[in-house]
Structure 1
Amino acid sequence: MLKAENLSFRIGDNLLIDDVSLTLMPGEFTMILGPNGAGKSTLLKLLSGTETPNQGQVWYGDQPLKSIPLSTLAKKKAVLSQLLSLPFDLSVAEVVMMGRYPYFSLNPTVADNHIVDQCLDRVGMISFKSRPFASLSGGEKQKVHLARVLAQLHRQPTDQSIKYLFLDEPISALDIQYQHQILNLVSSLASQNMVVFVIVHDLNLALQYAHKVILMHEGHLVGMGTPDEILTETTIETVFQLRPCFMTHPQTGRRVMVY
């Protein structure tokens, strides 16, 4: 379980997160939505420990996040940010191997190399293994970085501990086929005793995939619950200044949104 209590964060006079409390459970695929500047990425940074709140505290299970040693945390949580470029001339495999750094001291083992191959295969990038990372498209880079965080959270068969995965717009550069491929993959990860927290902009994808959604506006948590509970005509119009129309998908029976 991940629990945040009364989080606030400001830069100068700008209050970016205002008294946010929430609980995320393993097994749930949680998506966070809101307009640009709502505080989504800032909240992700606070929950993952990349930033420290001015007020409040984050707990991983019964441990305050700030008390967990970095060496332990590196094996418990992984973050995929919006920053895709790297200042180093690395191959695709070397980028994914960065996810294994917490597990070896000098040189990767045969097992580490096998895990890298497995993770590249899961995101459909194994044939790019030897390519220079800098030569890839934006969407290909996103998939490689996803493979990196998968490698970081790879489980041994006896490991039943809770893992924490944070993804900041992981499908923004992907075409529609790969958006669904990656979201299906991430959804399967949530079922493996993992807390999954993903920032997206497409409300229909949230309606289709999320177990729980968080809706934010101007640093405030507007609502948190199932997509049907939170993504209503009223809340969407309040947050996005756009009144949607809902329809029922003829094949899946799910609600879909048209504008």
Structure 2
Amino acid sequence: MLKAEHLSFQIGRQTLIDDVSLTLLPGEFTMVLGPNGAGKSTLLKLLTGTETPKTGQIYYGDQPLPSIPLSIQARQKAVLSQLLSLPFDLSVSEVVMMGRYPYFDLNPTVQDIQIADSCLEAVGMFSFKTRAFASLSGGEKQKVHLARVLAQLYRQPGDESVKYLFLDEPISALDIHYQHQILGLVRELATKNMVVFVIVHDINLALQYADNVILMDQGRIFNIGIPEQVLNTNAIETVFKIRPYFITHPETGRRVMIY
């Protein structure tokens, strides 16, 4: 379980996060939506310890996040940010192996190499393993970084610990096919005793894949709960300033937003 209590965060006089509290449970796929500047990425940085809140506390299980040694955090949580480029020249396989750094000292084991390869296979990038990372398209880089965080949280047999996965717009550069492939993969991971926190912009994808939705606006949580309740006409009109309409998908029976 991840629990945040009364978080606030400021830069100068600008309040970016204003009294946010939430609880995220393992086994649930949580998606975060909101307009630009709503505080989504800042909240992710607070929950992962990248930024320190001005007020409030974050708990992983029953432990305050700052009290957990970094070596343990590196095996508990993984983060995929919007920053895809790297300041040094690496191959695709070397980028994915970065996810295994918490598990070996100097050189990766055969098992580490096998795990990295299986994660590349899971995102459809195994055939690119020897390519220079810098030569890839934006969407290909996104998939490689996703393989990296999957490798970091790879669960060995008998490991039943809670793990935490944070993804900041992980499908923004992907075509429709890969958007659904990746979200299906992440949704499956959520069922394996994992807290999953994913920032997206597509309301219909949240309606299709999320177990829970956090709708943010102006640094606060506007609403939180199951997608059908949170993403209603009044909420979307208030937060996104558009009037949506919903129809029922003829095959799945799910609500689909049009505007």
The answer to whether the superposition gives a TM-score over 0.5 is yes
The one-letter code sitting in structure 2 at the alignment partner of 1:174 is L
| DSSP 3-state at the match of 1:242 | coil
1:188-247 superposed Cα distances (whole Å, 9 cap, x missing partner): 000000000000000000000000000000001000000011000000000000010000
Task: Tell me the TM-score normalised to structure 1 length.
Answer: 1.00
Pair 1:188 & 2:185 matched: no
- The equivalent of 2:89 in structure 1 is 89
| CA distance, structure 2, for counterparts of residue 48 and residue 226 of structure 1 | 23
Aligned-residue Cα RMSD (Å) equals 0.3
TM alignment of 1:95-244, pairs within 5 A: 95-244=95-244
Query: Structure 1 stretches (4+) deviating beyond 3 angstroms?
Result: none
How many matched pairs? Answer: 259
The one-letter code sitting in structure 1 at the alignment partner of 2:36 is N
- The equivalent of 1:12 in structure 2 is 12
| CA distance, structure 1, for counterparts of residue 220 and residue 3 of structure 2 | 17
| DSSP 3-state at the match of 2:31 | strand
| DSSP 3-state at the match of 1:154 | coil
| CA distance, structure 1, for counterparts of residue 168 and residue 191 of structure 2 | 20
| CA distance, structure 1, for counterparts of residue 202 and residue 34 of structure 2 | 10
- The equivalent of 1:40 in structure 2 is 40
The one-letter code sitting in structure 2 at the alignment partner of 1:18 is D
The one-letter code sitting in structure 2 at the alignment partner of 1:80 is L
| DSSP 3-state at the match of 2:205 | helix
Task: Tell me the TM-score normalised to structure 2 length.
Answer: 1.00
| CA distance, structure 2, for counterparts of residue 154 and residue 250 of structure 1 | 37
- The equivalent of 2:73 in structure 1 is 73
Unaligned residue ranges in structure 1 (runs of 5+): none
TM alignment of 1:51-70, pairs within 5 A: 51-70=51-70
1:28-72 superposed Cα distances (whole Å, 9 cap, x missing partner): 000000000000000000011111100000000000001000000
* Residue 131 of structure 1: how far off its partner (Å): 0.2
Identity over aligned pairs, percent:
76
- The equivalent of 2:252 in structure 1 is 252
| CA distance, structure 2, for counterparts of residue 89 and residue 243 of structure 1 | 47
* Residue 150 of structure 1: how far off its partner (Å): 0.2
The one-letter code sitting in structure 1 at the alignment partner of 2:154 is H
| CA distance, structure 2, for counterparts of residue 3 and residue 223 of structure 1 | 16
Unaligned residue ranges in structure 2 (runs of 5+): none
| CA distance, structure 1, for counterparts of residue 12 and residue 67 of structure 2 | 26
